[in-house]
């Protein structure tokens, strides 16, 4: 009598476990692909400072930049792009102006900003003029700062 009762219970538990693994595994892989597809961007990084005063003193001559505070350090960013070629172009433009920089890939979790960044990147790709490229970059930096300010509030 117990065997007749235990066999269906055992089969139900095994099937339930199998289906749950299948569903959860499918959900995890889709969630991973959503964030991995759209969250990476190239940041044209100027320098990192230990204090805000040192950063402000050293960046007086820079026209357009933002800074990101992480782990009590101030990271000065000259440009942001989803497209590596655009980031390289921004780096070259800043180098011509005497500002050495590097390109760092960072995650961005604000989907609204990422969508707008893609649109600005398209404009930047078709821009043949350094002035227009810098104007587009200025808008991107302003947008990033606005989004970060909204997220902090």
> Do the beta carbons of residue 147 and residue 139 sit within 8 Å?
no
Among 59, 69, 93, which residue's Cα sits nearest to residue 79?
93
> Do the beta carbons of residue 122 and residue 132 sit within 8 Å?
no
User: Tell me: the pLDDT tens digits for 49-84?
Assistant: 999 999 999 999 888 999 999 999 999 999 999 999
Q: What is the CATH number that goes with domain 39-152?
A: 3.30.70.1070
Q: Which pTM was predicted?
A: 0.72
Q: How do the domains of the chain map onto residue ranges?
A: 39-152
Q: Which pLDDT value is given to residue 69? A: 92
Indicate if the pLDDT at residue 33 is higher than 50. Answer: no
């Amino acid at each position: 009598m117990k065997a007749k009762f235990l066999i269906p219970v055992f089969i139900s538990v095994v099937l339930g476990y199998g289906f749950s693994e299948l569903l959860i595994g499918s959900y995890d892989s889709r969630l991973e692909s959503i964030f991995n597809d759209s969250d990476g961007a190239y940041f044209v990084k100027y320098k990192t400072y230990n204090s805000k005063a040192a950063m402000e003193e050293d960046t007086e001559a820079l026209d357009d930049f933002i800074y990101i505070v992480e782990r009590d350090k101030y990271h000065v960013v000259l440009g942001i792009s989803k497209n590596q070629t655009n980031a390289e172009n921004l780096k070259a433009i800043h180098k011509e102006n005497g500002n050495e920089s590097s390109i760092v890939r960072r995650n961005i979790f604000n989907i609204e900003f990422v969508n707008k960044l893609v649109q600005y990147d398209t404009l930047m790709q078709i821009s043949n003029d350094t002035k227009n490229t810098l104007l587009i970059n200025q808008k991107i930096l302003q947008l990033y700062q606005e989004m970060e300010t909204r997220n902090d509030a």
